[in-house]
């Protein structure tokens, strides 16, 4: 009898140890809005400490709803219980009864199989649940037809701006200078005199940092080009790995790249950040995952950190010359 009781106690303890508790609820700050009003849509998640939640994304295909802003997530840990809040600002520009369908919430439980093996593609730790649906009403702005229509304001005179004139003059001088330079080059080619071009090959880390800076200035993800942003930033890092460590990284999968990096002693310090960096990009490119603003910003920080940590600072520039006859 004692053995049976002990067996039941062990089974109950095992079940409780592996049970995972997570719930998510979606809501808005009101059920009635006017056309153009900001709609504050919130997803609140409650989960235990063994779970790692992935920030959710609202589908771009929501009918009649425009996503104005995705705010940074808010996390709290109270007495071993975790809480997360994900806030979105939406807007609608036509009257309608709107229903936001359930949103997928992805999360991980336990250790990531990708981190353990380096070559496993299937991630058994990634799970999901759905929030509730949310409905609200968009109303038209009431217009008083009894009031008079206001007159159109008189045209305003634009004062003469010396700054604008100076800018146009400088722009003209630059164009003239370019035309003169092109004419001289043309005459040199026509006369048969060889033109010597100096090509400077930058060290891998300098070239990678320059490319990351140019990508930042493009503002791809800020303009909605999320997939293009993640493709370009991973291409820069993979090209850096090819030149820095001699790996065919542009032709390898994420798992294959990580396996080869583990064989490079100087790459040990970036293995964890590189895995997170490449896996986030894979979610966007292959799983059609729409990341939050904070995830896009973190990708750029990780890229800079990967390059700067493994850079050979004292590597000299290599100059080569090429004749164009």
- pLDDT at position 199 is 67
Cα–Cα distance measured from residue 93 to residue 58, given in angstroms and rounded to the nearest whole number: 18
- pLDDT at position 287 is 61
Q: Are 280 and 229 in contact (CB under 8 A)?
A: no
Give the dihedral of Cα atoms 283, 288, 292, 296; nearest 10 deg.
60
Work out the average pLDDT over 175-203.
Answer: 79
Confidence label for 319 from pLDDT (cuts 50, 70 and 90): low
Query: Token pair of 48, please?
Result: 């235990």
Beta pairing partners, 137: 32, 97
Cα–Cα distance measured from residue 11 to residue 20, given in angstroms and rounded to the nearest whole number: 16
**Three-state SS at 167:** helix
Greatest mean pLDDT among 57-66, 177-186, 292-301 lies in 177-186
Q: Where are the alpha helices (DSSP H) in 204-288?
A: 204-218, 226-245, 254-261, 271-286
Cα–Cα distance measured from residue 250 to residue 236, given in angstroms and rounded to the nearest whole number: 9
Cα–Cα distance measured from residue 88 to residue 60, given in angstroms and rounded to the nearest whole number: 13
Distances (CA, A) of 247 to 119, 155, 207: 16, 65, 17
Within 10 angstroms of residue 301's Cβ, the number of other Cβ atoms is 11
Q: Are 110 and 125 in contact (CB under 8 A)?
A: yes
Within 10 angstroms of residue 234's Cβ, the number of other Cβ atoms is 23
Q: What is the DSSP letter of 267?
A: G
CA atoms within 13 A on the CB side of 279: 20
Q: Which of residues 123 and 246 earns the better pLDDT score?
A: 246
- pLDDT at position 299 is 85
Model confidence at 119: pLDDT above 60:
no
**Segment 38-90, tens digit of pLDDT:** 999 999 999 988 888 989 988 766 777 888 899 999 999 988 889 999 999 99
């Amino acid at each position: 009898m004692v053995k049976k009781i002990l067996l039941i106690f062990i089974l109950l303890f095992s079940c409780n140890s592996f049970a995972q508790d997570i719930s998510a609820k979606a809501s808005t700050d009101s059920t009635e809005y006017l056309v153009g009003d900001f709609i504050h849509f919130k997803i609140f998640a409650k989960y235990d400490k063994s779970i790692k939640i992935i920030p959710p994304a609202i589908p771009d295909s929501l009918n009649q709803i425009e996503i104005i802003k995705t705010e940074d997530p808010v996390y709290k840990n109270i007495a071993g219980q975790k809480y997360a809040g994900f806030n979105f600002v939406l807007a609608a520009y036509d009257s309608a009864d709107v229903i936001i369908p359930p949103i997928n919430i992805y999360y991980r439980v336990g250790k990531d199989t990708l981190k353990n093996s380096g070559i496993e593609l299937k991630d058994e730790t990634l799970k999901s649940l759905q929030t509730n649906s949310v409905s609200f009403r968009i109303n038209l702005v009431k217009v008083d037809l009894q009031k008079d229509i206001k007159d159109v304001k008189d045209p305003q005179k634009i004062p003469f701006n010396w700054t604008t004139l100076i800018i146009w003059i400088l722009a003209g001088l630059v164009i003239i200078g370019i035309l003169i330079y092109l004419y001289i080059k043309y005459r040199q080619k026509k006369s048969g005199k060889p033109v010597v071009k100096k090509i400077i090959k930058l060290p891998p880390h300098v070239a990678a940092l320059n490319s990351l800076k140019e990508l930042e200035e493009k503002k791809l993800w800020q303009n909605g080009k999320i997939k293009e942003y993640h493709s370009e930033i991973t291409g820069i890092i993979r090209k850096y790995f090819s030149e820095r460590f001699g790996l065919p990284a542009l032709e390898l999968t994420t798992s294959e790249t990580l396996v080869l990096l583990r064989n490079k002693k100087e790459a040990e310090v970036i293995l964890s950040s590189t895995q997170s960096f490449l896996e986030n990009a894979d979610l966007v490119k292959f799983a059609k995952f729409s990341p939050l603003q904070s995830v896009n910003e973190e990708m750029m920080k990780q890229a800079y950190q990967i390059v700067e940590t493994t850079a050979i600072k004292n590597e000299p520039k290599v100059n080569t010359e090429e004749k164009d006859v």
